[in-house]
Amino acid sequence: MFVKGDLVTRSSYQHDVLFRVQEVQENRVILYGEDIRLEADASPLDLVKVKSEELKRRKQQAKEEEEYSYRLFRQDYQLMRQKRDYDASSGYQHEGAYFQLPSRVLHLDGDRLYLKKCIDLYQQLGLQVHGIHLNEKDMPHQVGDLIDKINPDIVVITGHDSYSKNKGEKQDLRAYRHSRYFAETVREARRKVPHLDQMIIFAGACQSHFESLIRAGSNFASSPTRVNIHALDPVYIVAKISYTPFMEKANVWDVLRNTMTGEKGLGGVETRGLMRTGMPYQKDEDMDSEYELE
């Protein structure tokens, strides 16, 4: 009845989440959330293919939510830019133009389609990113070499996850699909760069074990109340840190408020910003052309 790529919902969950079929097994179907970073499995008998009109409605709703978050971030960005202009010109006393040093982002993602969506948003937000598609189980073994190669300022470690109460209590990492691999990846990254303000890490996906990811060394992680997070939420966290001046701390609530999930699904610790400005600006060098949000 089902093939890879089909869009479906689950009857037992009142059709709450839109999934795409990732793999069809003999008696189970592996599902990936279409807009949220959730991996699940279900009986074929529990699944219903989404009709075109319903799919159109869901896609439109998702698009409106994404556009709303983007507008909020643009407003936030404009305020940060005005403050930066004021500080760089000593209260508008000097005319000299300034340049900005962009932060480098290494984004590891267990989902190729999510990675593409994230890269598109990074580019919209004027951020430079190295995106790598990796299976969550392979991330701990490869993150060290990637950090050596790219020397990132921010590392994003994400993909799919889920908690199953049938496998254990919420504090038991074995009850989570990929949280232990995310935590191992964070620890490996921190062996390379231990300081939380020298390299900033976001880790986690839907329903991930928030506490273990923070203890492993993440600045920000999911999911404090074990809820689902949107596929694009990590990008907004990265953007807020990237555009916050390095002499300022990014308040945790300020970082989370433009995400689509908010504090129920995302959390973290106070973190120093990464934005550095300099003078004078030489037009022929075009030093900030890739770091402006139009």
Q: Any idea what DSSP says for residue 34? A: S
The percentage of the chain sitting over the pLDDT mark of 70, rounded to a whole number, equals 89
SS3 (DSSP) at 129:
strand
pLDDT tens-place string over residues 87-110:
655 565 556 676 777 789 999 999
- In the 3-class helix/strand/coil scheme, how is 186-205 assigned residue by residue? HHHHHHHCCCCCCCEEEECC
Query: What's the rounded mean pLDDT across residues 142-167?
Result: 95
Q: How far is CA 87 from CA 71, 91, 247, 281, in A?
A: 25, 6, 12, 15
Strands 220-221 and 200-203: parallel
**47-51, 63-67, 139-143, 175-179: segment of lowest average pLDDT:** 63-67
Topology of 72-88+96-278 in CATH? Rossmann fold (3.40.50)
Among candidate residues 184, 137, 174, the one with its CA nearest the CA of residue 159: 137
pLDDT recorded at residue 82: 76
Query: What's the rounded mean pLDDT across residues 24-32?
Result: 91
Indicate if the pLDDT at residue 288 is higher than 70: no
**CB distance 162 to 32 below 8 Å:** no
The model carries a pTM of: 0.86
The better pLDDT of the pair 73, 213 is held by 213
